Structure 1
Amino acid sequence: MTQSVTLDALDRRLIHALQIDGRVSFSRIATVLGVPERTVARRYHRLRSALVVRVVGLVDSRRIGMLDWFVRIDCTPDAADALTAALAQRDDTSWIAPLVGGTRLTCMVRTPASGTDSGRALFDHLLRTPGVRDVEAGCVLRQVAGVGGWAGRTSALEAFEQAALLGPAPEPPGDGEAPDEASGWGEAEARLAGELARDGRADVARLAAVTGWSASTVRRRVAGLRAAGVLHFEVNVDPSHFGFPLEALLWLEVAPASLVEVTRALSRHDAVAFAAVTTGRAAVFAMVQCRDTDALYDYLADELAALPGIGRMETALVQRRAKRAGPLLVPAMAERPERRGAGRYGPGREQRR
């Protein structure tokens, strides 16, 4: 649980800078923000120690032969908390949220893409878990909104400041390029990604120890994976710190002819933190951040209602986020990298992220 921290203007500018480049140096941030480097470093470590802000390295599942799934689990009220806690300890889960009402929870699960039984072991295990009544999984076909940060936390810097934080644009990989052709992916890369998922700003010495590479190789491989679109960095921060405490999940049935228009519109909506096209009854899944229920109503009745081709819509309010992107951390581990990853348990681990 995060501590009660009020973000001031400098905190918000720092968070925006980290969203632009999660591994940018404090000195560069300080130059752009016009404050001393020690101030930037002190602010960051204060926010991270309080578990308010966390930079995580994330891997594009498609480029390493994996699939992402949004899973809805219907369970008995007495099983919800235990199941949420067990799922949060897994390395292949993220974005876990019990929903208001106490009998449903949602999460994202990553599974191997090869074969027709992808994810079957986990899904079968869930169905055999006492208290679980139903499991519904939709495979993420394409992320269409929220990639690169929710608009609520990327509005603190002026355009010229954002440009000053960006390095040279990397050459994008080909659309159908295989991971090994784009960047190479092996056990060492998986260990690198796992450490960056725990701490996206882990220093080069730590990454070298984890991978067995030299410092120069670490720098080269991180740069190569980022340029190939395999690796990117995200800032985990609860939207309530920005004045948006209400999170709603939306499942939208969209006519195929309207899919492109709807998803393009969602990518421009400030309220949408994330959206993706998925398999299943609802073609589009979205996470929406609002100030209150009135704001949620206004969004549904105005912006969303104006879009063509949306048929049935299902909404649910998030009770809390038990886990966001990256492995679960506890406060005592937040500033102690040598202990990260210890004590994992749960209903089995399919792979290490």
Structure 2
Amino acid sequence: MDSDSLDVVDQRLLEALQLDGRAPFSRIARRLEVSERTVARRYQRLCGRGLRIVGQPVAARLGLVRWLLRLRCTPDAAGAIAEALARRADTSWVTLASGGTELCCAVNTRSADERNALLLRKLPRTPHVLSVSAHCMLRMFAGEASTWHATRFGPVPPVPAADSGTPATAPLTLDATDRTLFTELARDGRATLPELSAATRRSPSSVQRHLDRLRTEGALGISVDFDPQLLGYHMPTQLWLNVAPAHLRTVGETLATHPAIAFAAAVTGTSNLVASGIFRTPADLYDYIDQHIGPLPGIQTIETAPTLQEVKRLAPALP
């Protein structure tokens, strides 16, 4: 299925869902200037093509530390290792790149013991893993609200999140209702209040208060998951940048405004800024580097790693 099968209404619906994945169809219909029935019908059709609206926990706001891992594996084992990592509840963004020998994934850890169990014991002892580099995410500039936002209609305004450099606060305390909501919204980010009320055994008004608190406090993000290839974007690429410290914030915040960038974060390691870009063709990737990356101040080196396969894009709810 190619991008020609998605018309302007489909693409504008995807854009509206990125602005608010739980927005009522009536509000989206007014924005798109079509009927509510049309929005509902188009939404169901997109779901049949892989669209998912998913509630995602915001790691830092819940006391988790987020790591980005780069593994180099033997070509015959990289796929199996990627699948094994994808089955873990604490991972997301599992991708294969560099001829199928490099694997990247994001992982959330609750404690030093959890971190060390994976990074110091599990992965180094995994057969056919040649090397592991772990990069702690220091500040997320883009990526909490969606898995992509490169649409022909321009950039979607980034949604502020606790990961994005706001002053440190104590992790939000979750009760049983909150945890049930995370589980249900991981299945369907647009689950209705009556459905969530039945799952939590709380009144709809109580559920709404919990949802408002989680979203206002920056603990819950509503993510839009849709294969960018269905919109004609066939060149997803990770960009590893080495940026002079004095320009790191400026470059990160600038990347977050670019429609092509689905994720950007300051990280530890030799490359101190990593971004995921979504491009239509290799020529578009070149133009982006030439016209948008090149003029930015303080960039010393850049490494590009085209994604060959996305094994996992979104993580499930908290365990």
Fold-level similarity (TM above 0.5) = yes
| CA spacing shift, 1:243–1:187, aligned 2, 3 Å | same
**Aligned partner of 1:137 among 119, 134, 137:** 134
Q: Deviations over 1:221-253 (max 9, x none)?
A: 011111111112121112222322101101111
- Secondary structure at the aligned position of 1:200 is classed as coil
Distance 1:105 1:122 in 2: 15
SS of the residue aligned with 2:292? helix
For 1:4 and 1:302, the matched residues in 2 are separated by 28
Does 2:107 correspond to 1:109?
Answer: yes
Distance in 1 (CA, whole Å) between partners of 2:17 and 2:128 is 41
Give the CA deviation at 1:176: 2.9
Q: Are residue 41 (structure 1) and residue 7 (structure 2) matched?
A: no
Of residues 74, 77, 81, the one that matches 1:76 is 74
**Which of residues 141, 154, 170 in structure 2 aligns to 1:178?**
170
Describe how 1:291-310 pairs up with structure 2 within 5 A.
Answer: 291-310=280-299
TM-score (normalizing by structure 1) = 0.80
Query: Which of the residues 185, 189, 194 maps onto 1:200?
Result: 189
Q: Does 1:127 align with 2:124?
A: yes
Which runs of structure 2 are paired with 1:247-266 in the superposition (5 Å)? 247-266=236-255
1:168 matched to which residue of 2?
Answer: none
Structure 1, 131-140 or 298-307: larger mean CA deviation = 298-307
Aligned partner of 2:95 in structure 1 is 97
What CA distance in whole angstroms lies between the structure 1 residues aligned with 2:115 and 2:40?
41
Distance 1:71 1:229 in 2: 25
**Whole-angstrom CA distance in 1 between matches of 2:64 and 2:220:** 14
Q: Give secondary structure in 2 for the equivalent of 1:282.
A: coil
1:133-157 deviations in Å (ceiling 9; x for gaps): 1111111111113454544238279
Q: Which has the higher strand share?
A: 2
Hey, what does 1:21 align to over in structure 2? Answer: 20
Alignment check: 8 A CA contact 1:152 1:242 kept: no
Change (3 A) 1:128 1:191: farther
Q: Secondary structure at the match of 1:234?
A: strand
Take 1:305 and 1:156, find their aligned partners in 2: how far apart are those partners?
Answer: 21
Alignment of 1:151-230 (within 5 A): 151-153=149-151, 155=153, 175-180=167-172, 184-230=173-219
- Residue in 2 that maps onto 1:242: 231
CA distance in 2, matches of 1:214, 1:192: 13
Question: Secondary structure of the equivalent of 1:275?
Answer: strand
Question: SS state of the match for residue 295, structure 2?
Answer: coil
Q: Name the aligned partner's letter for residue 352 of structure 1.
A: L
The letter for the 2-side match of 1:106 is C
In the alignment, which residue of structure 1 is the partner of 2:318?
A: 352
Structure 1 stretches lacking a partner, 5+ long: 163-173, 328-350
Partner of 2:309: 320
Deviation by residue 1:143-201 (Cα, 9 ceiling, x = unmatched): 113454544238279x9xx9xxxxxxxxxxx8333234xxx413432231122122111
Shift of 1:312: 2.5
Percentage of matched positions with identical amino acids: 44
- Answer yes or no: is 1:279 the counterpart of 2:263: no
Task: Quote the offset at 1:129 in angstroms.
Answer: 1.4
SS at match of 2:223: strand
SS of equivalent residue, structure 2 residue 259:
coil
SS at match of 1:206: helix
Over aligned residues, Cα RMSD in angstroms?
2.4
Q: Distance in 2 between matches of 1:199 and 1:225?
A: 16
| 8 Å CA contact retained: 2:154, 2:259 | no
Equivalent residue, structure 2, for 1:334:
none
Paired residues, number: 308
What amino acid maps onto 2:45 in structure 1?
Answer: R
1:297 shift after superposition:
1.5
1:177 partner letter = T
Structure 2: runs of 5 or more not aligned: 158-165
Tell me, in whole angstroms, the C-alpha distance in 1 between the residues paired with 2:212 and 2:69: 32
Q: Which deviates more, 209-218 or 248-257?
A: 209-218
Deviations 1:245-284 (A, max 9, x none): 1011011111111212222321233322211001122110
1:56 equivalent in structure 2: 54
Question: What is the match of residue 270 of structure 1?
Answer: 259
Structure-2 separation of matches of 1:276 and 1:72: 15
Q: Quickly say closer, same or farther: Cα 1:36–1:270, change in 2 above 3 A.
A: closer
Q: Identify the residue that residue 340 of structure 1 maps to in structure 2.
A: none
Could you say what secondary structure the match of 2:123 adopts?
A: helix
